[in-house]
């Protein structure tokens, strides 16, 4: 073998070794280089059947995607070969979750940093309270709901679409015996619906509507006097329809008169109705269903 051939062979061997070493170094560097940190982590929760997907963009050379879920001290790692993972079963408790992601390459050393975490709030729906209408005491009684911090009673919607509510400042009682005081409402017909609200929970579904009619008890007529000479009865009331019962001395008979009189101060001549010797007169302001009013208490005049 000539020296020239030997030199040629040696040159070829050296070149092959250099290329092999270069490829090895390139390969080793490639598999150990830190991968790109994910930048587009999202949580998709508006899916059918309540499914929740955590997803990020695809990263070059990533073999696995590691999704980290933190809830307080609890840490959960979900590993997926895809750039997304199903996570519905890991968001069952109400609370604030922090979610982040990183990717892993061909070796454990080729791994990215965790991306900036995003917040995900789980607010569980509260149960709907049980309600009972107490018409006599004008109360809406409702059961206590675990997890609720306040209750809201919706009682009407105005012509402009404004929702009318009674808030926590209007309910009373102890746990299990709470009630809304309906006597504060103005007279009229209402459709009552109640919801529970509170803390880390979603407000409950509204109860079924309960119809309630608020009547106004009329004020008792006052400042009543009767002039026995001209048989004129005077009294004050801001109402207009009255029932008058007249009792006579030494007689069990009663004269009943129904009158209407506008204004706040009323003066009514009863000479065509009454005889002498009137002992007592009772006046009641008469309520009307069409105006959501009920009769007043009895106001009276007594002969000296």
- Lowest mean pLDDT of 4-13, 159-168, 207-216, name the range: 4-13
Check pLDDT > 90 for residue 170. Answer: no
Q: In whole angstroms, give the CA distance from residue 289 to residue 304.
A: 37
* Range in 1-5, 84-88, 186-190, 279-283 the model is least confident about: 1-5
Alpha carbon distance 38, 294 (integer Å): 72
Q: Give the model confidence (pLDDT) of 84-117 as tens digits.
A: 999 999 998 878 899 999 999 987 668 999 999 9
The least confident of 41-45, 168-172, 189-193, 299-303 is 168-172
Residue 280 has, within 13 A of its CA and on its CB side, a CA count of 11
What's the pLDDT score for residue 148? 86
pLDDT at residue 23 in the model = 46
Which domains does the chain carry?
42-122 (2.60.40.10), 125-214 (2.60.40.10), 222-302 (2.60.40)
Inform me whether the pLDDT recorded for 28 exceeds 50: no
Stretch 71-78: mean pLDDT: 93
Whole-number Å distance between alpha carbons of 100 and 116: 6
Q: Do 243 and 284 meet the contact criterion of CB atoms below 8 Å apart?
A: yes
Q: What is the mean pLDDT of residues 58-84?
A: 95
Q: Is the predicted pLDDT of residue 37 greater than 80, yes or no? A: yes
> For the chain, what is the mean pLDDT?
86
pLDDT band (50, 70, 90) for residue 169: low
pLDDT of residue 256: 93
Buried residues in 274-287 as b, exposed as e (16+ CB within 10 A): beeebeebbbbbbb
> What residue spans of the chain are helical by DSSP H?
3-32
pLDDT score of 18 more than 80: no
| Segment 205-245, tens digit of pLDDT | 999 999 999 999 999 999 999 999 999 999 999 999 999 99
Phi, psi for residue 54 in degrees, rounded to 5: -100, 130
pLDDT at 24 over 50: no
Q: What percent of the chain has pLDDT over 90?
A: 57
Joined tokens for residue 266: 């009323």
């Amino acid at each position: 073998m000539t020296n020239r051939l030997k030199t040629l062979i040696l040159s070829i061997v050296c070149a092959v070794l250099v290329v092999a070493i270069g490829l090895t170094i390139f390969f080793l560097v490639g598999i150990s280089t830190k991968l790109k940190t994910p930048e587009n982590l999202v949580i998709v929760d508006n899916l059918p059947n309540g499914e929740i997907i955590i997803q990020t963009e695809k990263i070059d050379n990533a073999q696995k995607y590691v999704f980290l879920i933190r809830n307080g001290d609890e840490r959960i790692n979900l590993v997926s070969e895809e750039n997304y993972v199903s996570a519905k079963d890991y968001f069952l408790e109400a609370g604030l979750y922090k979610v982040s992601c990183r990717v892993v390459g061909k070796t454990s050393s080729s791994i990215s940093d965790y991306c900036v975490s995003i917040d995900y709030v789980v607010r569980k729906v509260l149960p709907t309270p049980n309600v009972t209408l107490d018409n006599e005491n004008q109360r809406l009684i409702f059961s206590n709901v675990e997890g609720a911090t306040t209750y809201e009673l919706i009682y009407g919607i105005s012509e402009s679409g404004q929702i009318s509510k009674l808030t926590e400042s209007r309910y009373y009682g102890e746990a299990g015996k709470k009630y809304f005081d309906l006597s504060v409402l103005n007279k009229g017909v209402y459709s009552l619906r109640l919801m529970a609200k509170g803390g880390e929970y979603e407000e409950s579904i509204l109860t079924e509507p309960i119809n309630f009619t608020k009547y106004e008890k009329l004020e008792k007529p006052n400042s009543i006097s009767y002039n026995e000479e001209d048989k004129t009865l005077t009294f004050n009331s801001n109402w207009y329809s009255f029932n008058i019962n007249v009792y006579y001395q030494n007689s069990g008979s009663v004269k009943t008169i129904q009158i209407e009189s506008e204004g706040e101060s009323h003066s009514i001549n009863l000479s065509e109705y009454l005889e002498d010797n009137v002992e007592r007169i009772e006046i009641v302001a008469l309520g009307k269903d069409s105006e959501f009013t009920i009769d007043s208490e009895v106001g009276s005049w007594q002969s000296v």
